[in-house]
Amino acid sequence: MNKITLFAQLSKALGYLAFALNNVLKFAGNVTIKMSDIITNKTRYDVEILVEGATTITHKNQTAAQLGQLLNDMDKFGVTEVIIKQHLKQQEKKNDN
């Protein structure tokens, strides 16, 4: 094998290794978030943002911190009304069926 082929194979192997590591870290992060939500039993919210009576954006399954950030950012975009409801997991299961 010449040096270019060896370098190409090494680069390919490192690329696959980085891809695998990235996916493992994403999976671990998602599991950590879900487990912390289960343990702390955080309340989640569904938010509808209305501008002049028309729903423009709907955010589902938001934490209190995310809700606070949305409310702080409302002034920048001319939001006239916000509907906040408590997120229900049973609602999602019924909609899936």
Each residue's pLDDT tens digit, 76-95: 777 778 888 988 875 555 56
Q: Enter the DSSP assignment of 30.
A: H
Given a contact cutoff of 8 angstroms between Cβ atoms, the answer to whether 88 and 43 are in contact is: no
Cα 48 from Cα 74, distance rounded (Å): 12
Using a pLDDT cut of 90, give the percent of the chain over it. 27
How many Cβ atoms from other residues are within 10 Å of residue 3's Cβ? 7
* pLDDT interval class at 38 (50, 70, 90): confident
Please tell me which of 19-23, 40-44, 70-74 the model is most confident about, judged by mean pLDDT: 19-23
Q: What is the mean pLDDT of residues 19-40?
A: 89
C-alpha pair distances (Å), 24 with each of 5, 13, 34: 29, 17, 15
Given a contact cutoff of 8 angstroms between Cβ atoms, the answer to whether 57 and 70 are in contact is: no
pTM exceeds 0.75:
no
* pLDDT interval class at 40 (50, 70, 90): confident
Boundaries of every domain in the chain: 1-41, 45-96
